[in-house]
Amino acid sequence: MKLDAQTIADLATHLEDAELKAHDVTKITDAHPHMDWDDAYAIQDEIRRRKEGRGQRTAGLKAGLTSFAKMKQMGVETPVFGFVSDYMARPDGGEIKTSELIHPKVEAEICIVTKAALRGPGCHVGAVLAAVDFVVPAVEIIDSRYRDFKFDLKSVVADNTSASRFVVGSRMRAIDGLDLRTLGVVLEKNGEIVAMAAGAAVLGNPLTAVAMLANHLGARGQEIPAGTFVMTGGVTEAISVQAGDSVNVRFQDLGSVSMRFV
Ligand code: OOG
Ligand code: MG
C-alpha cells in the first residue's frame, strides 16, 4: 500500500460523490501516480462499506475487461473485479434515467449464480462448473466517473469498475446442455444490430472469469459465497447510449434483455 488511510477514505468519497451526483472527475492516478493495486481495491472496498453502511445490499460481483473486444476498446490487458449494489438494478423491459448518469454505455453479459462457495487459489473452470446453480443473461450499464471514459486500470478499479446499473433477464437455464463458449449474443440499439459475439469472446469461456474472480478474492482471504450472482464481463465492446435509445440484447438459449433510456 502506498496511500494512507485518510487518502483512501478521501478518494472513496470523491469517487462515490461523482457517481451519486453524476459528474465526471479526472482519473485519480494523475494526482496519485504511485498508488498500487492494493490501494485501488482498498478504495473500492471503502466505497462498498459506505454503501452497505447505508443499507444498500451488495447484489452481485462482476468481472470486467474480460473480453478481447473490451480490452482493445479500453487499451488494457488485465481483467478487473467489482460489485453491483441492489439500487443499481432495473427491471427487464424498464426505463433507465440518463439524468442520473454521466455517459452510459451498455454491455451484454453472460452471468451465473453459484450454489456452492468458490475459493482460490487454484480455482479453475471445472470447479466453477460444479458450483454453478444456473445461468442468466444481463445487460450492464457502465458509467465511468472519469472524464471521457479515459482511465488506467488502477483508476477504474478504485471507481468500482464503472458499475452503474444492471438489468437481469428473466430466463434462467441450468448449465448442463449449455455451451457458454458457443452461446451467441446479438446487441441491438434502436432496432439495428450494433455488436455481436459468442461467449468464448470472454477469456475463451465466461467461466474462466469466475475462476479468476475466485483466485483474486482467494489471494485476499475471501471467497465467492454460495448464492452469489456473478457477471462475467461484456462479450463485445461497450456501446454508448443516450436518452431516447432502446436496447435489446438477444442471448441464444437465454432469451432477450431490453431497456429504454429516457
Ligand atoms: C470498466 C468496466 C468493464 C466489462 O464488462 O468489461 C466492464 C469500463 O470499461 O469502464 O464492466
Ligand atoms: Mg461489465
* 70 Cβ below 6 A of ligand 1: yes
Query: What integer best gives the mean pLDDT of the chain?
Result: 97
Which of 19, 141, 161, 208 gets mutated to test ligand 1 (max ligand atoms within 8 A of its CB)? 161
Per-residue pLDDT at 193 exceeds 90: yes
Q: Write out pLDDT tens, residues 95-105.
A: 999 999 999 99
Ligand that lies nearest to the alpha carbon of residue 235, given by its number in the listed order: 1
Q: How far apart are CA 166 and CA 107, in angstroms?
A: 9
Per-residue pLDDT at 77 exceeds 90: no
Domains identified in the chain and CATH numbers: 57-261 (3.90.850.10)
pLDDT bucket at 217, cuts 50 / 70 / 90: very high
Which of 106, 142, 149, 236 gets mutated to test ligand 1 (max ligand atoms within 8 A of its CB)? 142
Q: Write out pLDDT tens, residues 19-73.
A: 999 999 999 999 999 999 999 999 999 999 999 999 999 999 999 999 989 999 9
Say if CB 54 and CB 222 are below 8 A apart.
no
Q: How far apart are CA 11 and CA 14, in angstroms?
A: 5
Residue closest by Cα to atom 11 of ligand 1: 64
**Interval 216-242 mean pLDDT:** 97
DSSP state of 251: E
Per-residue pLDDT at 76 exceeds 90: no
* 74 Cβ below 6 A of ligand 1: yes
Q: Angle at Cα 160 formed by Cα 154 and Cα 162, nearest 5°?
A: 95
**Interval 203-226 mean pLDDT:** 97
* 206 Cβ below 6 A of ligand 1: no
Total Cβ atoms within 10 A of residue 23: 11
Q: CA-CA distances (angstroms) from residue 246 to 26, 196, 242, 257? A: 30, 16, 9, 11
* 63 Cβ below 6 A of ligand 1: no
In this structure, what are the phi and psi dihedrals at residue 232, rounded to the nearest 5 degrees? -90, -5
Q: Write out pLDDT tens, residues 124-176.
A: 999 999 999 999 999 999 999 999 999 999 999 999 999 999 999 999 999 99
